[in-house]
Amino acid sequence: MARVSVEIEDHIARVTLTRGDKMNAVDPEMKEAIVAAGESLIGRDDIRVVVLSGEGRAFCAGLDMASFGTMAKEDPMRRMMLRTHGLANISQRVSTVWRDVPVPVIAAVHGVAYGAGMQLAIGADIRIAAPDAKLSIMEMKWGLVPDMGGMPVFKNNVRSDVLRLLTYTAEPVTAEQGLTWGLVTELANDPLARAMEIAQVIAGKSPSAIRAAKRLIDFAESGADEKAVLLEESREQANLIGGDHQKEVIAANMQKRAANFD
């Protein structure tokens, strides 16, 4: 059965995990489907924002442990160290693919985001969570470490001591606590509705400026020095002023003037 659906309407791509009967737990097929969905959006010019959500009772309950036994029979060193997707392996790509999507990605989190689900969510630009949602970097529960691509991003969202606490204990925390610690952007009783509301606002902005803003923020968070960040800031702005962005602004202003004369 299909693991992920992708629907595009009004420049908004809705990516939905559709394994609701298993709380969207990640098995090998789900990994492939999540990565394929993200990569299918990277080169599209008709999208301006992505909303990532899960069907059923949970956003994503983490790794499907029923499939873990099969994976454990393979040579772990070969399977884990093989770079199949640029800098990442297939598991890490579950999170990193959303950082490569050139438009903002909003995760709508309900129920639980455990383990792989937490790392999937952290790959998004923005996380809207239900107040009763539970979050966990859960891998230590199984005697493992987080390995699905979230670690490079966790450090930009939470303090080192918080990351260590969550990783060492594997204990779930409330979305409210996650908001305080930086795992969650905003709480909403209906996170999907709120994510769609934000997506509609973003979709109404200049698409070239939105993409430039994501590139610039990513670069600023990459560890580049201040000189490089300031140069990149100027470069992105110059490209916008001299490119399609300015044409969009002029066209929008002309439409407003024409409407005033009607």
Identity at 223, one-letter amino acid code:
G
For the segment 96-112, the average pLDDT, to the nearest whole number, is 97
pLDDT band for position 86 (cuts 50, 70, 90): confident
Q: What is the DSSP-derived secondary structure letter of residue 187? A: E
pLDDT band for position 69 (cuts 50, 70, 90): low
Q: How far apart are CA 238 and CA 251, in angstroms?
A: 19
pLDDT band for position 70 (cuts 50, 70, 90): low
pLDDT band for position 89 (cuts 50, 70, 90): confident
pLDDT computed for residue 121 by the predictor: 97
Write out pLDDT tens, residues 199-240.
Answer: 999 999 999 999 999 999 999 999 899 999 999 999 999 999
Write out pLDDT tens, residues 176-188.
Answer: 999 999 999 999 9
pLDDT band for position 245 (cuts 50, 70, 90): low
- The CATH class of the 4-203 domain is alpha beta
Using the predicted structure, report yes or no on whether residue 247 has a pLDDT greater than 70.
Answer: no
Q: What is the DSSP-derived secondary structure letter of residue 223? A: T
Identical fold for domains 4-203 and 207-261, yes or no, is no
For the segment 87-107, the average pLDDT, to the nearest whole number, is 93
For the segment 64-73, the average pLDDT, to the nearest whole number, is 69
Using the predicted structure, report yes or no on whether residue 81 has a pLDDT greater than 80.
Answer: no
- The CATH class of the 207-261 domain is mainly alpha
Q: How far is CA 208 from the centre of its chain?
A: 20
Check if the beta carbon of residue 65 is closer than 8 Å to that of residue 142: yes
pLDDT computed for residue 171 by the predictor: 97
Q: How far apart are CA 209 and CA 203, in angstroms?
A: 11
Provide the mean pLDDT of the chain: 91
pTM confidence score = 0.89
Check if the beta carbon of residue 23 is closer than 8 Å to that of residue 112: yes
- Domain limits, the chain: 4-203, 207-261
Q: Where are the alpha helices (DSSP H) in 43-142?
A: 65-72, 76-81, 90-100, 116-122
pLDDT computed for residue 73 by the predictor: 63
pLDDT band for position 60 (cuts 50, 70, 90): very high
Read off the tokens for 232.
Answer: 């990149």
3 state SS of 125: coil
